[in-house]
């Protein structure tokens, strides 16, 4: 009987998924399923390993079988720009898709997320691509470090995919001065040129800040240095002393305290790891799919327990 019951419940269930490669250690299912249970939705969120050459097919498949939505992670976010039916302005603006919402037409012929329709049976479907990563960055900085982003002076370490979006988003939020440092110099130059074109009121330069009055408000690490125990710190302390920064944010969240964060703390800075980015991009995705306010603290606790356990 129990089996039968769970079978019939499964038939009623609708699915969301995260696609990536690798995906085994993704914390997204635990985070989203905690919120789904809290909201009383009959959904289940799963993680699926999808190779980049199969991404288009996998998106179409999810659409055809009535998935609510998808999250995309490495290496799919840029590829997916050409694999959805329509792009939200957020995906156009940041040039990457990390969230897909499947939509059908409601009785008034208006495209509506499947997760917000109780009696959608058949009809045309479309995949709409969003970017919630950029909001994830700013919400994490605001909530975890208490920063007001306007007029900030920021030193960016890293100019890869995540670093680019972070720098552009802070420029959009009217940060005052951005300093870009990256192992591959040409990438920071390209990013500086893009910021100059898109957000001319933000002053941007390549390299460590030199002889500026006062402190830098924020040092933000978006390099992958810190993920492994034997990684060096991502900052050259002969060129910039952490004591000259008020706050340090490390996008790495595992380990919970990277060498950079430990040094920053010892130098008297406010510090935060990148868990909040994962949290807030997920919060925003769930709100797009469900149209409901996500239970942020439930999601944060689920993430913390899953990633750090009883550390
Ligand atoms: P993501 O999407 O997570 O940003 P990415 O686009 O591959 O990933 O960017 C990784 C960032 O970490 C880049 O800034 C990269 O520097 P390069 O542009 O020079 O590749 C930086 N990074 C990775 N390994 C590094 C290392 N060993 N030393 C310094 N920087 C490193």
C-beta of 73 in contact with ligand 1 (< 6 A):
no
Question: Helices 133-145 and 161-172 sit at what angle, rounded to 10 degrees?
Answer: 70
Task: Note the pLDDT of residue 10.
Answer: 54
Which residue, by CA, sits nearest to atom 29 of ligand 1? 183
Instruction: Quote the percentage of the chain above a pLDDT of 70.
Output: 95
Inter-residue contact 70 to 46 (CB < 8 Å): no
C-beta of 159 in contact with ligand 1 (< 6 A):
yes
Distance in Å, CA 142 to ligand 1 centroid? 24
C-beta of 162 in contact with ligand 1 (< 6 A):
yes
Give per-residue pLDDT as tens, 39-72.
999 999 999 999 999 999 999 999 999 999 999 9
Atom number in ligand 1 closest to CA 183: 19
End-to-end CA separation in angstroms for the chain: 40
Residue 274: name the closest of 159, 167, 137 by CA.
Answer: 137
Please tell me whether residue 9 adopts helix, strand or coil conformation: helix
Pair of tokens at residue 83: 């694999």
Task: Note the pLDDT of residue 7.
Answer: 46
Can you spell out the DSSP letters for 142-201? Answer: HHHH----TT-EEEEE--SHHHHHHHHHHHHTT-SEEEEE-SSHHHHHHHHHHHHHH-TT
Distance in Å, CA 150 to ligand 1 centroid? 27
Q: What are the residues whose beta carbons fall under 8 Å from the beta carbon of 63, sequence distance 6 or more?
A: 102, 125, 126, 127
**Binning pLDDT at 50, 70 and 90, where does residue 212 land?**
confident
Rounded to an integer, the average pLDDT of 289-299 is 98
By annotation, the residues acting in catalysis are 77
Can you spell out the DSSP letters for 65-106? Answer: TT--EEEE-TT-TTGGGGSSSEE-HHHHHHT---EEEEEEE-
Which residue, by CA, sits nearest to atom 18 of ligand 1? 184
Give per-residue pLDDT as tens, 135-157.
999 999 999 999 999 999 999 99
Pair of tokens at residue 271: 């510090």
User: Whole-prediction pTM value?
Assistant: 0.94
Distance in Å, CA 160 to ligand 1 centroid? 6
Q: Which of 163, 191, 224, 225 to mutate to test the pocket of ligand 1 (most atoms within 8 A of CB)?
A: 224
**Binning pLDDT at 50, 70 and 90, where does residue 1 land?**
very low
Atom number in ligand 1 closest to CA 234: 29
DSSP 3-state percent helix, strand, coil across the chain (nearest 5): 40, 20, 40
Residue 110: name the closest of 126, 99, 121 by CA.
Answer: 126
Can you spell out the DSSP letters for 103-128? Answer: EEE-TTS-EEEGGG-SS--SS-EEEE
């Amino acid at each position: 009987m129990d089996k039968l019951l769970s079978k019939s419940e499964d038939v009623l269930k609708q699915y969301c998924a995260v696609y990536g490669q690798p995906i085994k250690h993704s914390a997204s299912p635990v985070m989203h399923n905690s919120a789904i249970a809290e909201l009383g939705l009959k959904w289940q969120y799963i993680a699926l390993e999808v190779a980049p050459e199969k991404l288009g097919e996998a998106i179409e498949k999810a659409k055809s079988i009535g998935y609510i939505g998808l999250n995309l992670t490495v290496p799919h976010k840029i590829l997916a720009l050409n694999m959805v039916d329509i792009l939200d302005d957020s995906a156009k603006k940041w040039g990457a898709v990390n969230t897909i919402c499947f939509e059908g037409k409601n009785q008034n012929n208006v495209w509506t997320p499947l997760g917000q329709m109780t009696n959608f049976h058949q009809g045309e479907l479309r995949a709409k691509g969003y970017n919630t990563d950029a909001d994830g960055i700013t919400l994490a900085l605001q909530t975890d470090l208490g920063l007001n982003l306007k007029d900030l002076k920021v030193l960016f370490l890293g100019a890869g995919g995540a670093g680019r979006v972070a720098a552009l988003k802070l420029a959009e939020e009217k940060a005052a001065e951005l300093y870009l440092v990256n192992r591959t110099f040409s990438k920071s130059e390209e990013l500086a040129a893009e910021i100059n074109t898109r957000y001319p009121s933000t002053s941007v330069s390549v390299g460590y800040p030199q002889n500026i009055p006062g402190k830098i408000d924020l040092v933000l690490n978006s390099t992958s240095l810190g993920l492994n125990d034997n990684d060096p710190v991502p900052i050259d302390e002969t060129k910039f002393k952490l004591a000259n920064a008020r706050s340090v944010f490390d996008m790495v969240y595992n380990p919970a305290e990277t060498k950079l964060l430990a040094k920053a703390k010892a130098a008297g800075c406010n510090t935060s790891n990148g868990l909040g980015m994962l949290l807030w991009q997920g919060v925003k995705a769930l709100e797009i799919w469900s149209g409901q306010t996500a239970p942020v603290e439930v999601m944060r606790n689920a993430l913390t327990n899953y990633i750090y356990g009883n550390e």
